Amino acid sequence: MGGRGSSSGISDKGKKYGTEYTTLYKSGNIKFVRYNDGKSAKTPMETMTKGRVYAVISSENDVKFISYYDKYNKRYKQIDLIGNPHPVNGKYIIPHTHKGYDHSENGTFELSEKERKMVDRINKTWYSYKNKK
């Protein structure tokens, strides 16, 4: 996870694989991570764990993004929970889903029922973890 260069172990920015994010908590196949460089959070582009789902935590300690990965461990979908609303069917909405590796090259959509359930599960898990600390 991290560095955008999992195949070589070094990113194009010269970072070693695994140094771009800090793991805050793990629950099943969901890993809650924070981006290490600056305040602007980003989702991991790739993972080394099959079936992994990342919940990216903002600098305000809230779940900002949820990202999913395909059978090649590349990001194929990202759910934005916080941030700028995007147009879907003529309305600007948040949360929304971006489909594609880079961001939304395959479109931006409203959340499906399955995605809403995952958002609820992740939010409940994260807030439960936060309140135990």
For 75-105, the pLDDT digits (tens) are 999 999 999 999 999 999 999 999 999 988 9
HEC readout, the chain: CCCCCCCCCECCCCCECCCCEEEEEEECCEEEEEECCCCCCCCCCECCCCCCEEEEECCCCCEEEEEEECCCCEEEEEEECCCCCEEECCEEECCEEEECCCCCCCCEECCCHHHHHHHHHHHHHHHHHHHHC
For 28-42, the pLDDT digits (tens) are 999 999 998 876 788
Percent of the chain with pLDDT over 70: 84
Amino acid 17: pLDDT: 63
The domains of the chain are located at 21-132
Residue 7, pLDDT > 80, answer no
pTM of the predicted protein model: 0.85
